[in-house]
Amino acid sequence: MLFQRTLKSLVSTSGVGLHSGQKVTLTLRPAPENSGIVFCRTDVAGAPTVKADAFAVGDTRLCSTLEGNGAKVATVEHLMSAFAGLGIDNVFVDVSAPELPIMDGSAAPFVFLMQSAGIAEQVALKRYVRIKQSVECRDGDKWARFDPHPGFKVSYTIAYQHPVFKDARPSATVDFADNSFTREVSRARTFGFMQEVESMREQGLALGGSLDNAIVMDEYRVLNDEGLRYQDEFVRHKILDAIGDLYLLGHPLIGAFAGYKSGHALNNRLVRELVSRTAAWEYVSFERADDLPAGFAALHLQRS
The catalytic residue positions are: 264
Beta bridge partners of 11: 28
Beta bridge partners of 67: 72
Give the start-end residues of each E strand in 19-169.
23-30, 37-41, 49-51, 66-68, 71-73, 91-95, 119-125, 128-131, 135-139, 142-147, 152-157
> What is the DSSP pairing of strand 253-260 with strand 128-131?
parallel
CA distance 242 to 266: 10
CA distance 10 to 199: 39
Cβ neighbours for 26, distance < 8 A, ≥ 6 positions apart: 12, 13, 14, 15, 79, 93, 94, 95, 96, 100, 101
Q: Element (H or E) spanning 47, and its range?
A: none
How many Cβ atoms sit within 10 Å of the Cβ of residue 231? 12
Q: Are 252 and 130 in contact (CB under 8 A)?
A: no
